[in-house]
């Protein structure tokens, strides 16, 4: 397939891997964090760890939006699902994420109206077809999905829909990376920056990383992309931000997408699973669009969120532990019976380790 096979070409992959082995200083170690969950899955799927020298350590970061969504958000979604006049519209991987005491999957089994959609616009259509119901879309994800949710809210306001709203759980990536550089248990030399997020925001929001001595490369999601990005990190003489994913990414990002985000949302403090509350790392719906803010409209009441103390999902998200270090991994916690969010999502580190554990 054109534009895919080229980036999975074994001859080219072996060639770049050879250049990495030649460039890596055997007298030291390298800790590179891949931020995007899709990077993590590609690294495992294509066995990239096995062809890298042993002194290059790839660390999975907080790039899975489902994984970083805290129990508090899940609990609010469940409280809204229990309303008799509500339909919860959500992406499929949110169904089985455990909250403090339940999950959307369990609530659906008990009779709640929880519908899987593929986009916020699908949720908007659901609201049009069910005018007697309150359709609440669970807005999660990073800067990649925020513009589409913003457009659904803009469309709902334009069409004067009164039964569509969003429970907003969107988060922004640069602030999380800033928090990780302050994590005492982590020693990160460089970042493989997320391609899809960067397609929206560009590279300017990451400049602080180079001032903190971190090498950065915005990487694509195919195996050759990732290996080339690692080589670029090794070749940087001084920390800077480079773009490997040049067929998609520009320094300035996507102006229309950024304008959509700015029009509907504003920065707000946000809680990240495992990391805690990070200032200005989330998005909230602006007051002028308050009629479409599910939290402001319905004020879901929940008890204090509770975490499963045996699950180390939070430590995995921060990159300070790996899934096999969890005593639940592949025993009590599996994709069929997930205990933590990192085992639910296809982009979660635990799911990747479990699926490809024979290749680690």
Q: Which residues of the chain have pLDDT under 50?
A: 1
d(C-alpha 135, C-alpha 164), whole Å: 5
Sign of the Cα torsion 292, 298, 304, 309 reads: negative
Q: pLDDT of 240-266, one tens digit each? A: 999 999 999 999 999 999 999 999 999
Take residue 182 and report the two structure tokens written for it: 């302050």
What per-residue confidence (pLDDT) applies to 314? 92
Computed over every residue of the chain, the mean pLDDT equals 95
Q: Is 315 exposed, middle or buried (0-12, 13-18, 19+ CB in 10 A)?
A: middle
What per-residue confidence (pLDDT) applies to 5? 82
Cβ-contact 93, 344 below 8 angstroms: yes
Instruction: Report in angstroms the alpha-carbon separations of 336 from 196, 221, 332, 340, 355.
Output: 29, 26, 10, 12, 12
Per the DSSP assignment, residues forming a β-bridge with 243 are 218
Question: What whole-number percentage of the chain has pLDDT above 90?
Answer: 94
CA 295 to centroid of chain Cα atoms: 22
**DSSP of 82-109, one letter per residue?**
TSTTEEEEE-GGGTT---SS--HHHHHH
Please state whether the predicted TM-score (pTM) of the whole model is above 0.85.
yes
Q: What is the DSSP letter of 203?
A: S
- Range 281-289 contact pairs with CB under 8 angstroms and sequence separation of 24 or more: 281/171, 281/172, 281/175, 281/176, 281/179, 282/169, 282/170, 282/171, 282/172, 283/146, 283/168, 283/170, 283/171, 283/172, 284/168, 285/153, 285/166, 285/168, 289/153, 289/157, 289/264
What per-residue confidence (pLDDT) applies to 6? 86
Topology at the third CATH level for domain 1-311: Rossmann fold (3.40.50)
d(C-alpha 62, C-alpha 43), whole Å: 15
What per-residue confidence (pLDDT) applies to 357? 82
- Range 328-332 contact pairs with CB under 8 angstroms and sequence separation of 24 or more: 329/353, 329/354, 330/354, 330/357
What per-residue confidence (pLDDT) applies to 191? 98
What per-residue confidence (pLDDT) applies to 359? 56
**Length of the chain, in residues:** 360
What per-residue confidence (pLDDT) applies to 274? 87
Q: What is the DSSP letter of 62?
A: S
- For the chain, domain boundaries: 1-311, 313-359
Cβ-contact 177, 210 below 8 angstroms: no
């Amino acid at each position: 397939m054109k534009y895919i096979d080229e980036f999975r070409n074994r001859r080219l992959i072996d060639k770049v891997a050879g250049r990495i082995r030649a460039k890596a200083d055997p007298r030291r170690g390298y800790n590179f964090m891949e931020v995007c969950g899709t990077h993590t899955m590609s690294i495992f799927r294509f066995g990239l760890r096995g062809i890298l020298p042993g002194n290059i350590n790839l660390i999975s970061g907080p790039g899975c939006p489902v994984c970083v969504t805290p129990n508090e958000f899940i609990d609010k979604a469940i409280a809204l699902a229990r309303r008799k006049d509500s339909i919860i519209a959500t992406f499929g991987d949110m169904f089985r994420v455990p909250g403090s005491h339940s999950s959307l999957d369990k609530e659906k089994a008990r009779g709640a109206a929880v519908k899987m959609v593929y986009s916020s616009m699908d949720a908007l259509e659901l609201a049009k077809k069910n005018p007697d119901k309150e359709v609440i879309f669970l807005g999660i994800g990073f800067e990649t999905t925020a513009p589409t949710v913003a457009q659904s809210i803009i469309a709902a306001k334009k069409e004067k829909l009164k039964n569509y709203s969003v429970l907003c759980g969107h988060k922004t990536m640069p602030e999380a990376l800033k928090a990780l550089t302050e994590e005492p248990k982590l020693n990160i030399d460089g970042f493989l920056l997320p391609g899809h997020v960067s397609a929206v925001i560009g590279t300017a929001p990451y400049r602080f990383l180079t001032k903190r001595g971190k090498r950065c490369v915005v990487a694509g999601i195919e195996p050759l992309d990732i290996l080339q990005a690692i080589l670029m990190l090794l070749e940087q003489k001084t920390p800077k931000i480079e773009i490997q994913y040049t067929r998609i990414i520009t320094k300035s990002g996507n102006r229309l997408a950024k304008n959509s985000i700015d029009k509907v949302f504003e920065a707000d403090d946000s809680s990240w699973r495992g990391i805690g509350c990070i200032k200005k790392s989330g998005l909230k719906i602006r007051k002028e669009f308050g009629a479409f803010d599910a939290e402001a409209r319905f004020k879901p009441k929940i008890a204090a969120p509770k975490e499963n103390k045996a699950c180390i999902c939070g430590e995995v998200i921060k990159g300070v532990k790996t899934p096999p270090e969890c005593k639940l991994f592949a025993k009590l916690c599996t994709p069929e019976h997930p205990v933590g969010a990192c085992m639910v999502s296809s982009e979660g580190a635990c799911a990747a380790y479990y699926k490809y554990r024979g290749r680690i």
